[in-house]
Amino acid sequence: MRLHSTRALRMDRHHRRRKTGGGLNLVALMDIFTILVFFLLVNSSDVQEVPGTRAVQLPESMTPTLVRDTITVMVTSEHILVQGDPVLSVQAAQETKGEVLPLLRTALEARLSARAATAKAHEITVLGDRSLSYSVLKKVMASASAAGFSELSLAVRQRGTQEA
């Protein structure tokens, strides 16, 4: 003999199911975190790029040293630029007598005084086109030294190990 009818048992089962709290679906949460991890891995690479190197074809090197955030002097085939601002033409630099280029020295001294508070104030990076004559590059380096820059770096494009 039954004490409860089948309808009463079914309703009792239904009410017990409703009383338990909803479960946490971890599958969707794990999918979101997986996508987030891949996104962070892809976008947090150690690649550093020298600013504005389209106008300059850098020579290649196998040095492991990375680019630092310093004042940059870009020497294209036509112009000498300090932080992207044109200072003088390469033709004028070739025609200048002496080792120091006065216009470049003045521009570099102004940049040096503006960055005097930073730790990397006396560092400079020179980006010279690979077709540039050494005499112009030598004048640029001498001007940077005369302006008070004690650490001078030449930017190069890193050659891959399979090419070496």
Each residue's pLDDT tens digit, 5-16:
888 888 888 888
The domain spans of the chain are 6-43, 60-158
> For the domain 60-158, what is the CATH code?
3.30.420
Q: Write down the pLDDT at residue 1.
A: 46
Percent of the chain exceeding pLDDT 90 equals 1
Q: 58-84: per-residue pLDDT in tens?
A: 556 555 555 566 788 888 888 888 888
Q: How many CB atoms neighbour CB 142 within 10 A? A: 16
What residues contact residue 107 under an 8 Å CB cut-off, 6+ apart? 82, 85, 87
Rg (CA), the chain: 32
Q: 91-113: per-residue pLDDT in tens?
A: 888 888 888 888 888 888 888 87
